[in-house]
Structure 1
Amino acid sequence: MSHLSNKVKKNISTKKSNRLLVICVDRDNDVGEKAGIVTPVIGRDECIEAAQRLALEDPEDADSNSIFSAIKTYEDLVSKGYQVEVVTIAGVKNRGVQADEKILEETKKVLEAFNADGAVIVSDGEDDESVIPVIQNVLPVVSVQRVVMKVSRSVEYSYAVFGKYLKMVAYDSKYSKFFLGVPGILLLIGGIATYFDFTAEIFAVLVSILGGAFLIRAFDIDKAWERWSKPTPMGFIRMFTMVAGILLILSAVPSGIGAVDTELIESDKEIIGKITDKIIIGQFVAGALPILWIGMGAIFAGTLLSNWIGGIPRQISDILRIIVLIALYPTIAQFTNIMIFDESSFTLIPPLLGGLAATLISATILFKKYRKHKEQEMVSD
């Protein structure tokens, strides 16, 4: 019985790995590509030097922390009475089969210098841990340790920025009235409507309010209205020309409808076919075009006039808008002729070239005048 007990104890002691190899795996070879270190790196002091050089080359690389973690694991095992060596092995930059082959060769080379019974793998992610089966071909793996950074600067910064904007949305009236006010109004109206059983009716109201709020904020309509309605000559000019231009643009629709020949519309049947008829489209555009262009010209002219009175140096762009509007008129007018009278599409080329030439000549003259004016201002200063 005592002989059997001694045999069991002997088997248990032989299974214990007294000679361990702590392996830090760098599969994409950052230690070689960035720090110029040739692997395998064998020994505590050599690994410390490799980690320091890599940290100096790229402080954000996690592989240097993995090497330091492997050294700490080595020291802990030494303090517990194990015979341990620490090494750093690397693959190649592109990973893949070549990286695994290189890791296998370096592991065999290390085992020639230190005959180990088991391996402790230290890595910073799943990619490096994928080589564990490769190492197990030549050495049993008894433990795997992953290095995870406790604090990530990017995550910490993201939380700080998120908290700053959240506080801004909650306490800054400029943002809270939209991000909190509009949802608050919608929730309040929705709650009241649900209580009185007006759910179907209030849905259209809520969608309309939300859509209007999005449009106002997306196109800065509130800021534009505030700028136009200021009690100054420029503000009154902009407000008048904007309202007049919008009214003219809207009136272009009935003007276009009135220009359509009523004989072409015999009945209300096949209304889709009537709407898509090119002659009707051409007559509608021809009738709406003059009023539409006058309305847009009124808006552009109002902007030009208000900037000129206020002394804002944007006259060049304002004048070019009006010139482009005038230059495009013949082209669009000819397009309506093609739709109505079935003329050749090549008749669009002359007015298009003429408009383009007028725009380029006007832009050249205006920019030369602007540069000359700037040079005179610089000389006077």
Structure 2
Amino acid sequence: MSLKDSKMEKKLDTPLTSRLLVICVDRDNDVGDKAGVLTPVVGRDSCIGAAQKLALQDPEDADANSIFFAIKTYEDLVSKGYQAEVIVVAGVGDRGVQADEKIIREVKSVLSSFSANGAVIVSDGEDDESVIPIIQNVVPIVSVQRCVMKVSRSVEYSYAVFGKYLKMIAYDSKYSKFFLGVPGILLLIGGIGTISGYTQEIFAVLVSILGGAFLIRAFDVDRAWANWSKPTPAGLIRMFTMVTGVIIGLASILSGFSAIHTNILDPQVIGTGVPNILSDRVTFGQFIAGAIPFLWIGMGAIFGGILLSNWLKGSLRQITDVLRMIVLVSLYPTVYQFTNLLINDESSFTLIPPFLAGLAITLISATFLFRKYRKKKGGEVLSE
């Protein structure tokens, strides 16, 4: 074998990454909420202590096993000659954007003291692995290890697991509200309808309730409302401005009808056909002209409440909230001119000046806001 081939073989055998960071991800922060451990947890001994605390608090939690799996992975890497470190990072209980932001901050803080050129991700499921693309923006990921629990497949164990889930459905309010509450309401209404003889009407009500329950659960309406109505200053402001904005928005419909010169509620007018009246260009323009002031005020109240709420929380989203308000104001002249075009039969070219002015204001404001943000935050890019 030539000297050149020997060097090539030695180069191929040399690992591409000599400093590896083993990252155990706990996106829902069980290690913090259950065991009271502050993250990031750095080092083998500290990780063992965190895993032991979590296992003592909740022996059935898979995150404790994931931490031990990460420690074993770390020891294997060290035995193979790698310079490695093991850490545990955690998000927040509600997961979502805040959890991902917290995880990436913790990874960056560890990398500032341990300069790794590769990472090994250890998780116990797909939820924790959803942060992989985010971590990969900070440090290259060379491997992903999933910790899968070995469980008994006996019939007794299956019955035990099934009984455990039945107990959760019966006694855990998080699940019983949907799995027991909704069927209970349907059965109660169905029984009352059968006794009273209103079978068809009750059936329609049952279908509506069931459909509404499915929609609420499918789109997380209950969780969204719970977050919006939390008894905090930010939550109360959001709830107040949302309700106020919706009421003002509904009032815009009445304002639009009152702006129409023809009394559209007159029985004689209704007899001629409301769709024909609304299809008239002038009438439609009068309706829009009367509605948009209240509609814009309602939307402004909602957007302003979101802005004030994020400002109180110190959230970075206040930048986009300010821009949203600017866009709303910039659009008003264009929409108003559109109503003049419908009512007064003006030229369509009259829409161009307010459109260009609004576009210029939006672009200038966006440039100024994001430059100011980057200057304060060291060049980071704001993302939703």
Runs of 4+ aligned structure 1 residues displaced above 4 Å come to 166-173, 263-266
1:329 alignment partner AA = Y
1:267 alignment partner AA = V
Name the CA shift for 1:182/1:240 in 2 (closer, same or farther; >3 Å).
same
User: Which runs of structure 2 are paired with 1:275-294 in the superposition (5 Å)?
Assistant: 275-294=278-297
Equivalent residues of 2:244, 2:301 under 8 A apart: yes
Name the CA shift for 1:210/1:348 in 2 (closer, same or farther; >3 Å).
farther
1:190 alignment partner AA = G
Name the CA shift for 1:176/1:280 in 2 (closer, same or farther; >3 Å).
same
Is the partner of 1:269 in helix, strand or coil? helix
Match of 1:301 in 2: 304
Range 325-334 or range 219-228, more displaced: 219-228
User: Which runs of structure 2 are paired with 1:270-349 in the superposition (5 Å)?
Assistant: 270-271=272-273, 272-349=275-352
Match of 2:271 in 1: 269
Match of 1:225 in 2: 225
1:325 alignment partner AA = L
1:288 alignment partner AA = A
1:354 alignment partner AA = A
Once the two structures are superposed, what CA deviation does each residue of 1:162-183 show, in whole Å capped at 9, x if it has no partner?
x99x959957643453355324
1:368 aligned to 366, 371, 374, which one? 371
2:319 alignment partner AA = I
Match of 1:45 in 2: none
For the residues of structure 2 that align with 1:235 and 1:323, how far apart are their CA atoms?
Answer: 23
Is the partner of 2:378 in helix, strand or coil? helix
For the residues of structure 2 that align with 1:310 and 1:181, how far apart are their CA atoms?
Answer: 35
Name the CA shift for 1:215/1:290 in 2 (closer, same or farther; >3 Å).
farther
Equivalent residues of 2:263, 2:269 under 8 A apart: no
Match of 1:17 in 2: none
Once the two structures are superposed, what CA deviation does each residue of 1:138-184 show, in whole Å capped at 9, x if it has no partner?
xxxxxxxxxxxxxxxxxxxxxx9xx99x9599576434533553244
For the residues of structure 2 that align with 1:347 and 1:323, how far apart are their CA atoms?
Answer: 22
Q: What displacement does 1:235 show?
A: 1.7
Match of 1:252 in 2: 252
Name the CA shift for 1:203/1:263 in 2 (closer, same or farther; >3 Å).
closer
How many corresponding residue pairs?
216
For the residues of structure 2 that align with 1:250 and 1:218, how far apart are their CA atoms?
Answer: 26
Is the partner of 2:197 in helix, strand or coil? coil
User: Which runs of structure 2 are paired with 1:131-170 in the superposition (5 Å)?
Assistant: 170=169
For the residues of structure 2 that align with 1:218 and 1:354, how far apart are their CA atoms?
Answer: 41
For the residues of structure 1 that align with 2:350 and 2:219, how far apart are their CA atoms?
Answer: 37
Aligned residues with identical type, % of pairs: 63
Is the partner of 1:262 in helix, strand or coil? coil
For the residues of structure 2 that align with 1:215 and 1:332, how far apart are their CA atoms?
Answer: 33
Q: What root-mean-square deviation, in Å, do the aligned CA atoms of Structure 1 and Structure 2 show? A: 3.0
Match of 2:22 in 1: none
2:208 alignment partner AA = S
Name the CA shift for 1:289/1:232 in 2 (closer, same or farther; >3 Å).
same
User: Which runs of structure 2 are paired with 1:143-222 in the superposition (5 Å)?
Assistant: 170=169, 173-222=173-222
For the residues of structure 2 that align with 1:304 and 1:184, how far apart are their CA atoms?
Answer: 40
Name the CA shift for 1:364/1:218 in 2 (closer, same or farther; >3 Å).
farther
Q: TM-score, normalised by structure 1?
A: 0.51
Q: What displacement does 1:248 show?
A: 0.6
Higher radius of gyration, 1 or 2: 1
Match of 2:128 in 1: none
Name the CA shift for 1:274/1:180 in 2 (closer, same or farther; >3 Å).
same
2:216 alignment partner AA = I
Q: What displacement does 1:371 show?
A: 0.7
For the residues of structure 2 that align with 1:214 and 1:247, how far apart are their CA atoms?
Answer: 26
Name the CA shift for 1:313/1:258 in 2 (closer, same or farther; >3 Å).
same
1:356 aligned to 349, 355, 359, which one? 359
Once the two structures are superposed, what CA deviation does each residue of 1:324-346 show, in whole Å capped at 9, x if it has no partner?
11111111111111221222223
For the residues of structure 1 that align with 2:231 and 2:173, how far apart are their CA atoms?
Answer: 24
For the residues of structure 2 that align with 1:347 and 1:179, how far apart are their CA atoms?
Answer: 58
Name the CA shift for 1:306/1:217 in 2 (closer, same or farther; >3 Å).
same
For the residues of structure 2 that align with 1:358 and 1:218, how far apart are their CA atoms?
Answer: 39
For the residues of structure 1 that align with 2:347 and 2:253, how far apart are their CA atoms?
Answer: 27
Name the CA shift for 1:334/1:179 in 2 (closer, same or farther; >3 Å).
farther
For the residues of structure 1 that align with 2:248 and 2:219, how far apart are their CA atoms?
Answer: 21
For the residues of structure 1 that align with 2:289 and 2:193, how far apart are their CA atoms?
Answer: 48
For the residues of structure 2 that align with 1:277 and 1:330, how far apart are their CA atoms?
Answer: 23
Q: What displacement does 1:360 show?
A: 1.6
Equivalent residues of 2:238, 2:302 under 8 A apart: yes
Name the CA shift for 1:209/1:298 in 2 (closer, same or farther; >3 Å).
same
